[in-house]
């Protein structure tokens, strides 16, 4: 994993237009007002031993924190956003806009920054909730404020 490359991907997301229709993008999903990309993916932990998955998840969390440190330097330190409340609101039938609904189901915590003057938000998190799937480092840029 290369932090400089991931920061460049986030920078490109910050400057691009969002599609008019929901769908897959070259490296993630996108729709009206947002784009989410996979910055890194584990290999083989979905079928691997539980202890290997736990170590890999810890490595991805540490890497997320390293990326977040660089973004804190740019946009100011923000506390992490826990996703439990959003998942609870979803389970009660509340409509949560994308990308926040999907991110809440995939991650336990996000680092989120408002981009002053740009009307956009950047989020970075680790998708490791589904043990049947690989672990992924995700980044999202959206015009939709967090719920």
pLDDT tens track for 114-140? 998 889 999 999 999 988 899 999 999
Domains held by the chain: number: 1
Q: Is residue 102 part of a domain?
A: yes
**Residue 33 domain-assigned (yes or no):** yes
Q: Which domain holds residue 16?
A: 3-142
Residue 107 lies in a domain: yes
Asked, for residue 35, whether it belongs to a domain, the answer is yes
CB-based burial label for 50 (10 Å; 0-12, 13-18, 19+) = exposed
147 located within any domain: no
How far is residue 106's CA from residue 56's CA, in Å, rounded to a whole number? 16
Q: Has residue 37 been placed in a domain?
A: yes
Instruction: Indicate the pLDDT class of residue 1, thresholds 50, 70 and 90.
Output: low
Looking at the domain assignment, is residue 110 inside a domain?
A: yes
In this prediction the pTM is 0.93
Range in 25-29, 88-92, 94-98 the model is least confident about: 25-29
pLDDT (0 to 100) of residue 9: 95
Q: Tell me the residue length of the chain.
A: 147
Render pLDDT for 15-73 as a digit per residue (tens, 0 to 9). Answer: 999 998 888 866 789 999 999 999 999 988 776 678 888 999 999 999 999 999 999 99
pLDDT of residue 124: 98
Phi-psi region of 79 (alpha: psi -120 to 50; beta: other; left: phi over 0): beta
Residue-wise over 91-105: b if at least 16 C-beta within 10 A, else e?
A: eeeeebebbbbbbbe
Do the domain assignments include residue 81?
yes
């Amino acid at each position: 994993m290369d932090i400089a490359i991931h920061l460049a991907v986030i920078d490109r997301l910050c400057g691009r237009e969002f599609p008019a229709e929901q769908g897959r993008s070259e490296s993630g999903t996108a729709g009206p007002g947002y784009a989410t990309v996979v910055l890194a993916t584990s290999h083989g932990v979905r079928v691997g031993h539980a202890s290997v998955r736990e170590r890999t998840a810890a490595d991805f969390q540490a890497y997320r924190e390293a990326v977040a440190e660089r973004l804190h330097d740019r946009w100011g330190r923000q506390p992490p956003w826990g996703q439990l409340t959003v998942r609870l609101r979803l389970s009660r039938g509340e409509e949560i806009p994308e990308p926040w609904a999907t991110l809440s189901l995939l991650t336990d915590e996000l680092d989120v920054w408002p981009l002053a003057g740009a009307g956009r938000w950047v989020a970075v998190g680790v998708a490791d909730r589904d043990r049947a799937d690989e672990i992924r480092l995700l980044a999202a840029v959206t015009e939709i404020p967090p719920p």
